Amino acid sequence: MTFSLVGRCAETGMFGVAITTSSIAVASRCPWARAGVGAVATQNVTDPRLGNQGLDLLEKGMSAPEAMNALMAKAHSPEHRQVTMIDAKGRTAFWSGAKTLGTNNVAPGEDCVGAGNLLQNPDVPAVMAKVFAQSKGRHLADRLLLGLEAGIVAGGEMGPVHSAGLLVVHEQSWPLVDLRIDWSDDNPIVRLKRLWEDYQPQMDAYITRALDPNAAPSYGVPGDMGDEK
């Protein structure tokens, strides 16, 4: 019911996940990332516990393949799970259990790994990974969204998708980008891209407000004394 792209920017050290599905609120349970550590996507019949558990193993110093083996060895009902992972060195790992739904596939690429289930065709993950690799030099969020869009063009899911999410972490303990479309009868990826385009110009200001409020720009809303500066 889902396809996703997990990626890393080798230049900035950012990690992120872009994901979409036919179900509601996919971003609330499937994408996981931790600054300086890596990123995980857990999908198909989702067990959200696997996200933080996988990141904990990476943070202990395991490579992505080592962490995936340890994670799935203890996972509940692993035959139902589809999980992808990338570590701080760009190494990837993946798992697709025997009961992963419909046409499914996984495609590791340079600093990324794409995966999906209930797909129109098995080429979707490889197309996403290829587009991600071709978009070096752009912000990681842009690259992830470009890959997700390419997945739709390549066939996407068997049915329409209704929710999508974009998660990117960088230097702080909280996400740099955490955007989602929890339900849309139209293409949620288009709406997610517009949301990212609106958010990006304000993104750094929210970091400054957290770390150094006195140097932060105003919110520019009625009643904000800073808007007089």
Sheet containing 31-34: which strands, arranged edge to edge? 31-34, 38-44, 81-87, 92-96
- Residue 117 has, within 13 A of its CA and on its CB side, a CA count of 22
What local confidence, expressed as pLDDT, does residue 229 receive?
40
Is 210 among the domain residues? Answer: no
Q: What total of structural domains would you count in the chain? A: 1
**Of residues 154, 137, 50, the one with CA closest to residue 93:** 50
Q: What is the pLDDT of residue 223?
A: 76
- For residue 123, being part of any structural domain is answered with yes
Instruction: Give the 3-state DSSP-derived string for 35-81, with helices as H, strands as E and coil as C.
Output: CCCEEEEEEECCCCHHHHHHHHHHHCCCCHHHHHHHHHHCCCCHHHE
Whether 122 is covered by a domain: the verdict is yes
Q: How far apart are CA 3 and CA 151, in angstroms?
A: 8
CATH code of 49's domain: 3.60.20.10
Q: Establish if 229 belongs to a structural domain.
A: no
**pLDDT tens by residue, the chain, 229 residues:** 799 999 999 999 999 999 999 999 999 999 999 999 999 999 999 999 999 999 999 999 999 999 999 999 999 999 999 999 999 999 999 999 999 999 999 999 999 999 999 999 999 999 999 999 999 999 999 999 999 999 999 999 999 999 999 999 999 999 999 999 999 999 999 999 999 999 999 999 999 999 999 998 887 778 776 554 4
Tell me the residue range of the domain where 123 lies. 2-204
Is 93 part of any domain? yes
Residue 228 domain-assigned (yes or no): no
pLDDT at position 228: 42
Element (H, E) at 129: helix 124-134
In a domain, 17, yes or no: yes
Residue type, 155: G
Q: Which residues contact 159 (CB under 8 A, 6 or more apart)?
A: 22, 118
Residue 209 domain-assigned (yes or no): no
Residue 226: per-residue pLDDT: 59
Give residue 217's pLDDT.
87
